[in-house]
Amino acid sequence: MSVPAPESMPIGKSSFQHALETARAAAGAQHYPAGALYVVATPIGNLADVTLRALHVLATVDAIACEDTRHTQQLLRAVGIDRAGNELMALHEHNEAEAAQAVITRLQAGQRVAYVSDAGTPAVSDPGARLVAAVRAQGLRTIPLPGASSVTCALSAAGVTGDGGFVFTGFLPNKSGERGAAVQSLAKESRAVVLLEAPHRITALAEALSALGVRPVTVARELTKQFEQIATLPCNQLPAWLAADPQRQRGEFALVLHPADQETGADTDDRVLRLLLAELPLKTAVKLAAEITGQPRNNLYQHALQLRDDAKG
């Protein structure tokens, strides 16, 4: 997820002076072990979502590892924290393994190091997971500071019901064929599925999801920002919804694919197979039914044999 743009950071530096003082009072007396990595969640758009503990830690640690040092410096200055450039370390997807060793060296020397991605909770579709794994492999401590997350934010506004929980899938593959196959694998998922997408790929994702028909999807765009938009609609209407207003294709996206209706899905599969059997040879009908429904061919073949035997009887 990208860092909040300057226009989405309307709160002035002076506005955070009281917050920083409050952060010191509320969090300063807590224990912050030396030689530990602090994984810090940062706002996904609205600066007011930063936590008091995050403010205190970012102001006091020995160094901050960042997905993008320029974005983090922008964030720090916006909340009134002044850190020298040499106190910020670049750690992103292209250098994570090498940069993790530099962080470990600091931790082994007894320093406290924070890690922040550009926005939201690190290591959730953002860099950070390899860093955390490397730190833990050295027997060093990792301390998470919870905060803003587009995943939980979108889920809380989606109104998903049921007891099945949810699956976090994140970004689907870039290539259209792989993306389509990934969508088909979600077709029978009985739990809600959370997806993330960038603005330049949201149209392609919408086209792929349209194959899921009337299954509901909640689209959350520009979460926590001034032009936040949340809408729930059938998957097959998503491409038209995006095309209806160019503004709807802007910003970062979190999508919640609602749980599949298992009974309806089974009825649909059965109807597809029956219709094909009425017009085609058994093997051809089974082959096409498997392609249409995504169900295993062997299962459909056995069901087709049963339907044929029932018809004879």
pLDDT at 36 over 90: yes
Q: Please, how many CA atoms are within 13 Å of residue 11, restricted to the half-sphere of its CB?
A: 22
Diameter over CA atoms, the chain: 83
Comparing CA positions, the residue from 195, 31, 50 lying closest to residue 121 is 50
Instruction: Report the chain's mean pLDDT, rounded to a whole number.
Output: 90
Is residue 113 very low, low, confident or very high in pLDDT (cuts 50, 70, 90)?
Answer: very high
| Average pLDDT over every residue of 23-48 | 96
Alpha helices in the chain (DSSP H): 17-27, 52-60, 69-78, 96-108, 129-137, 150-158, 176-185, 202-209, 238-243, 262-279, 282-293, 297-312
Region 273-286 average pLDDT: 88
Q: What is the structure's pLDDT at 139? A: 98
Q: b or e along 39-52 (b: 16 or more beta carbons within 10 Å of the residue's beta carbon)?
A: bbbbbbbbbebbbb
- At 267 the pLDDT is 63
Instruction: Give per-residue pLDDT as tens, 54-94.
Output: 999 999 999 999 999 999 999 999 999 999 999 999 999 99
pLDDT digits (tens, 9 = 90+) for 151-182: 999 999 999 987 779 999 999 999 999 999 99
In whole angstroms, give the CA distance from residue 61 to residue 103.
13
For residue 155, the one-letter residue type is L
Q: Residue 113: beta bridge partners?
A: 37, 63
How far lies 145's CA from each of 52, 142, 208, in Å?
Answer: 10, 10, 36
Report the distance separating Cα 107 and Cα 114, nearest Å: 10
What's the whole-number mean pLDDT along residues 9-32?
A: 84
Residue 268: the pLDDT is 63
Instruction: For residues 169 and 188, give the distance between their C-alpha atoms in angstroms, rounded to a whole number.
Output: 15
